[in-house]
Structure 1
Amino acid sequence: MAVVNVYNTKAEIISQIELREDIFNIPVKNCVLHSVVTMQLAKRRAGTASTKHRSDVKGSTRKLFRQKGTGRARRGDIKSPLLRGGGSVFGPDPRSYGYEVPKKVKKLALKMALSSKFQDNTLTVIDSIDLESVKTKLMVNVLKAFDIQDALIVSLGAEEKLELSARNIPDVKILRSAGLNVYDILKYNHLILLQPALPAIEGRLGQ
């Protein structure tokens, strides 16, 4: 049974909550996680490398000298790839490196990523983080109470004070539950879930 403690911002246990076994406690397969993380990183590649081909180079199309009778090799216009300043023959063009994996694989990988945090005891559930104002020190104090320096914090929706207070803290990221993904879960050592976000996560992955 996947049961975890629910803490307040002072790292005091206030209750317990039962997590769904089919989401937070399934066998983890590295090959599935690797395939989805590789896909995510491929989609992030810019793919903007570009060179000018023969038709893209600015210049005259006049033949430099006659075809025969000079004793030299045949030569076309000044945009030839063989000449300095000419076009590139097989240079790169802008492209997308992105590709897709099946939806079922992506959902399974997300469950495995969450399960890996639960099984490694690096999953923490907090009832809520209500900060008095936008202040980095307030957020730092919350993390110090849990002795955590590297964490992904998942909220249900927009949490302006929380997001602004944490943006200057290294190795800490605030993510809304709708954007939860495998790469970010595995990138950070700890996963902190705000309790209101749990039903949304379970509803998304339990279908």
Structure 2
Amino acid sequence: MSSVDVRSPDGETTGTIELPDDVFDAPANLSLMHQVVVAQLAAARAGTHSTKNRGEVSGGGAKPYRQKGTGRARQGSTRAPQFEGGGVVHGPKPRDYSQRTPKKMKAAALRGALSDRARDGRVHVVSSFVAGDVPSTREAKDVLATLLADVERSRRILVVVDPADAMSWKSLRNVPSVHLLDTGQLNTYDVLVSDDVVFTEESLGSFLSAEATRRSRRGRGPDLTTEQVSGGAPSVAPAEGDGDVSVTLRKPSAADTAAKPAAKAAPAAADIETHPYGVGSHMALDDDSAPAGFDIKGNASSKLYHVPDSSFYDRTIAEVWFASTD
């Protein structure tokens, strides 16, 4: 695990920060970074280009001259593609250039780009850019000049600050060689086109905490399951002493195990015998007559029912009776 010094606005080293290897010392996959950068630049395209074909150009409705007898090639419209001012053949139309790039690919490409800069000593950390409470572009530029004095000339500097750090934003937003981003906007393209990457101490902590969250999702989390006895249910009761809660497991007795299925089966069997098709249905009585309030005949084999005023009502033997057609 590599470390980087934390510089104060006065140029002094106030401490060091350990850079995790999985973020700042990961292998750089060039093809992956190229794919992610191409997708990012493609998504930035407006895609509003448009041309008119011969049907969209105004005018040209009349035939310019007669079909035969002129010695010239036949023409049907002056807005044809071969005429000046005519339509465009297969010209560009508005389209969306964005590509779907998986989040894991973008995160891996960003880690590779940051690792490449870190291995070259191009990742820096400052505690802040301004010592006082007033934004100062001159003071912020002096901090960058002191910070980058030991490296080669940097033509483009990427500064990553916290979104709530208004002092840094106002101090560096007008510097031509500085590109400002917050931690949520950090991307592979801006890292690769910049010579140096400068984090504030606060923004680096926010970025690493977000990266740690992503890594914990990829890895296997802690096992939080509670071991239970087969067939038992945990009962929670206050323990004696300091008021803590203890968890005890009780195995059900054989009588409890046998009584539960019997209690469930008894009403179920009665319901099926009385209401075979749910509420609103009833089996025929012993004399095959209709129960009170059930006057619609139903046939179990055909799954059909007949109301009293239908032509098949008298010819149907009811196997089940319904209270309504619903």
| Same fold flag (TM > 0.5) | yes
2:308 counterpart residue number? none
Shift of 1:3: 2.1
Aligned counterparts, 1:12-27, within 5 A: 12-27=12-27
Structure having the higher Rg = 2
Structure 1: 5+ residue stretches without partners: none
Q: Tell me the SS of whatever aligns to 1:144.
A: helix
Q: Are the aligned partners of 2:128 and 2:168 in contact in 1 as well (CA < 8 Å)?
A: no
1:64 counterpart residue number? 64
The CA distance in 2 between the partners of 1:68 and 1:158, in whole Å, is 77
The CA distance in 2 between the partners of 1:134 and 1:169, in whole Å, is 13
Aligned counterparts, 1:161-172, within 5 A: 161-172=167-178
2:189 counterpart residue number? 183
Shift of 1:60: 4.2
Instruction: Say yes or no: does 1:202 pair with 2:208.
Output: yes
Aligned residues: 207
Shift of 1:187: 1.3
The CA distance in 2 between the partners of 1:115 and 1:195, in whole Å, is 18
Aligned counterparts, 1:93-108, within 5 A: 93-108=93-108
The CA distance in 2 between the partners of 1:97 and 1:189, in whole Å, is 28
Q: Are the aligned partners of 1:157 and 1:176 in contact in 2 as well (CA < 8 Å)?
A: yes
More relative contact order in 1 or in 2 (CA 8 Å, sep 6+)?
A: 1
Cα deviation code 1:47-75 (max 9, x no counterpart) = 33322211221114122334445544332
1:136 counterpart residue number? 137
Aligned counterparts, 1:49-88, within 5 A: 49-88=49-88
Q: Tell me the SS of whatever aligns to 1:165.
A: helix
The CA distance in 2 between the partners of 1:66 and 1:47, in whole Å, is 42
Q: Are the aligned partners of 2:137 and 2:172 in contact in 1 as well (CA < 8 Å)?
A: yes
Shift of 1:153: 1.0
1:29 alignment partner AA = N
1:10 counterpart residue number? 10
1:153 counterpart residue number? 159
The CA distance in 2 between the partners of 1:184 and 1:101, in whole Å, is 17
Distance change >3 Å, CA 67–CA 158, structure 1 → 2 = farther
1:45 counterpart residue number? 45
Q: Are the aligned partners of 1:111 and 1:205 in contact in 2 as well (CA < 8 Å)?
A: no
1:175 alignment partner AA = L
Q: Are the aligned partners of 1:152 and 1:184 in contact in 2 as well (CA < 8 Å)?
A: yes
The CA distance in 2 between the partners of 1:175 and 1:138, in whole Å, is 19
2:146 alignment partner AA = A
Distance change >3 Å, CA 102–CA 19, structure 1 → 2 = same
Q: Tell me the SS of whatever aligns to 1:4.
A: strand
1:173 counterpart residue number? 179
Shift of 1:117: 1.7
Q: Tell me the SS of whatever aligns to 1:92.
A: coil
1:76 alignment partner AA = G
Shift of 1:202: 2.0
The CA distance in 2 between the partners of 1:49 and 1:165, in whole Å, is 38
Distance change >3 Å, CA 140–CA 129, structure 1 → 2 = closer
Structure 2: 5+ residue stretches without partners: 215-326
1:114 counterpart residue number? 114
Q: Write out the 4+ residue segments of structure 1 that deviate beyond 4 Å after TM superposition.
A: 68-71
The CA distance in 2 between the partners of 1:161 and 1:55, in whole Å, is 57
The CA distance in 2 between the partners of 1:49 and 1:7, in whole Å, is 48
The CA distance in 1 between the partners of 2:29 and 2:52, in whole Å, is 44
Identity %: 37
